[in-house]
Amino acid sequence: MKNVRELALEALLNVEKKQAYSNLLLNNYLDSGKLSKKDAGLFTEIVYGTIQRTITLDYYLASYIEKQKKLQDWVKVLLKMTLYQMLYLDKVPARAAIYEAVEIAKKRGHKGVASVVNGVLRSIQRNGVPDLEKMENDVERISISTSHPKWLVEKWIEQYGVHDTERMCEMNLVPPHQSARANTAKADVEEVLQMLTTQGFNVEKGELAEESIVSLKGNMAYSNAFKNGYMTIQDESSMLVARALGVEKDDFVYDCCAAPGGKTTHIAELLKDSGRVISTDLHEHKVKLIKDQAERLQLSNIEAQALDSRKAQEIFKEGQFDKILVDAPCSGFGVIRRKPDLKYTKSMQDIKQLASIQLAILKEVAPLVKKGGTLVYSTCTIDKEENADVVEAFLEANKEFEIDFNIKELLPEKVNSYVKEGMLQLLPHYFGTDGFFIVRLKRQV
């Protein structure tokens, strides 16, 4: 039976070679029953931490392994994850991490490999690692110290400046607190807080969204409140999207990129058992996730179906909906803390393709909004090409629509200073939430 570090090495190799998504792969390992509760924490820390800091760790290791021309991939990953433990895990003594690495090297390789692993790690332990703060080039320093690709750092510095880029990249290394949205169709926030506290969870009210609850300790997905439909696991920034729609009693709403259903169910809750939400997503298996959530939360005003929203006009009529939400597929750079491999796998070409899809969806569904109705566009990314540029291109081609500057009245006062020209761009370091973009568009009467 493999120990926790052997499993961590195996998982990291799968992420690296098979391009598996780290969050999905991690869940598979945690659900497999191969790890005890105690080991699950260390496993998660080693895998996520090593991925989060890959560029930094590679930089530190480079000078120590440059002469090792034939080092196998698994040995490099073993060195990287062990160095992560030595530098960033206070509770793991360096000698223990090195010992475990050498034992794995003996088991997977031979004495020669174990000797190399021992030699490299002992050398770093003796000599230390370079001081990255001495780097004079901002792009290089931020890229290496926070482990983000240079092209991304350059891009963000152009958009947000050095200060915000550095703080954002640093925040991307900090594990997020879990937050949840109280199902206000069934109970208020105080009641759900009480349920969680009674069951032993350390929770408090969130900072931004009025329905939010933050867990300081304990996974709320395992709570009775979650099981019985009193809450949904959702980031606070994501909760602002349904609020931006300004949902009113009896509204007929279309959520066109809806899976797994977090915003659909929020809209349904705000409708207070009135109106209707039509939810579509491209894949049938994802539509099932929406239906499952609606059933768990006991929301009867949701209809979910599979549909490519770029063909929505084939199904729905012009002016049919009071409000439409386009929470578009995006690069996800606002959720790097949850999906650290995103920053290494996405490219500039991906961003261009996504912007094209986002604009196509907006153009397709826009005629379905009734005159005087509302179209909200949101993404969980921080990239200007996928956000403000898409909105600008849409408005240029759709003169019937204009930005609704009243969005501030629908959002928490704390975020108002981050609304520029009617568009909210939250960066992860503002409130410790995911990065998110929201704009509210109005179809003229």
Q: Active-site residue numbers?
A: 380
Residues 178, 214 contacting (CB under 8 angstroms): yes
C-alpha neighbours within 13 Å on the C-beta side of residue 208: 23
- Going by their DSSP bridges, the two strands 321-327 and 252-255 should be labelled as parallel
Q: Hey, CA dihedral for 62, 65, 66, 72, is it positive or negative?
A: negative
Conformation bin of residue 355: beta by default, left when phi > 0, alpha when psi is -120 to 50:
alpha
Q: Which of 222, 212, 218 shows the shortest CA–CA distance to 188? A: 212
- Going by the annotation, the residues of the binding site are 257-263, 281, 308, 327
Phi, psi of 53 (to 5 degrees): -110, 25
Half-sphere exposure of 111 (CA within 13 A, CB side): 0
Angle at CA of residue 214, ends 209 and 220, nearest 5°: 125
Residues making up the annotated binding site for S-adenosyl-L-methionine are 257-263, 281, 308, 327
The burial class, CB within 10 Å (0-12 / 13-18 / 19+), for 357 is middle
